[in-house]
Structure 1
């Protein structure tokens, strides 16, 4: 199932499911069939164990959709699937071997592969939805960079879970662009570099885990102004999804709706010779096969 948060006719953001080119309003579909389903993504994820099968059954029933419950996808505005996460996004640095090598050449990071996941975080205020503007503040950065990533959305509380059981805690997957101001790393700390407003384009949907049985064989790519910059596959992760969930949950409880951005492959601007950066007027496109594509302008602020 593909779930979105959408706006229609200037209304508040609402939860929708994509079906045959339509965005079906989840709450309205449920109400028309005597079921109480939520209007927001986080409440749905909180209750996914019961609500996901119920929604699947409704969408697969073959019944005509109730009047007013569905709109063509081109007639709505898609928001980030979770417009404001409850807490910081968990970012994973240096999780593809070729990216480790390019970072060591240009960003003074260790040339050796990490022995444990490298963790950082991005505040909820970094999140923007499909088409939103990535801010370029020239007073803050002259080295604004791109990173396409597979995002994992947690569906069930995870505390000290073993690797073998970690995948049962995944609700679904999405696309994220980890925007980075490379010249704002502070004494080795990345949160300011990674955590400024608009630095986490996210979407266009959440694809539920049952639709992606193997998240470790997905092509992910990124273009700048139509030119391919990153083109790789999630099979090249150093630490895979169950390992990341298990590792983080050893000391930090993962909760429903939490997001893990699983790292980026090589091809970032900092790794090029000469280095390349994002500037106002650029357009960044990024995607993960089986999930979708994001497209964002870079604007001066």
Structure 2
């Protein structure tokens, strides 16, 4: 007879994770999470039918306490940690903790280290090779010396940009739970970013227009980080959104109810739909060769994403091949009577 009383059901549901009570190989009780995972009809059934996983069944049927990592319950590649506790009279409490988020985080860290190492190793190899050549005794053609010097300078600056962006990401992540407290006028941020990008705009023969409605466009934020957001968005638009057909970049700052929206739009080649979900991943590039040639580090949108999240904002990217790309950042607007903290 099942022990699934209303009190026990509420107690098991309070655990949050899938939990079952096994009595002599039979599922005696199961919470909602377990029934959602394994099926509504598992109570009163043989555990070998409810949990069709050989490794898990070996431990459960042995009746011994254990904590093991498993893959394949519920779906073929879903990772779990299964904990078995003996609660007396051959009763077992079996809990399943979903490790998908932990495994994904570990994979992201591993990929991040591998990608960062790769990005740094390439220019470093060039620096070492050219440096060894310059250090060799004997005369060196002046034109070759100049070319080697220019290459070394370019690759060293590329490494510096990567290191700077990595350090910036680290600082942003360290501060992500500390809310900023300054009153920041986004019109001023946008104007300053356009000034910062003026040299790159000249190189691209591009024009950057700013459109700001009546406002106010004040948010509570970190002025330096919000400047990074707009700098990166305009920089990306100039590097990847300018082509022979269009060299115009539009920056817009608008007030939408309780939000301030900053939008940066280009009219270039656009981005294929399959790339859009991954654009904010660290070191992800639609075209790796073009990105490196343009001076991009592959970290710009990752930095933008982390800063926007710290400011409790939202970012969206809309793009269509041949029709350009628009990136919108929505930030909570400051209250009119907000006071800057000392």
Give your verdict on TM over 0.5: no
Q: Which has the larger radius of gyration?
A: 2
User: Which one scores higher on RCO, CA 8 angstroms, separation ≥ 6?
Assistant: 1
Q: Greater strand percent: which structure?
A: 1
Q: Give the TM-score band, short-chain normalised.
A: under 0.3
TM-score, normalising length from structure 1? 0.22
TM-score, normalising length from structure 2? 0.20
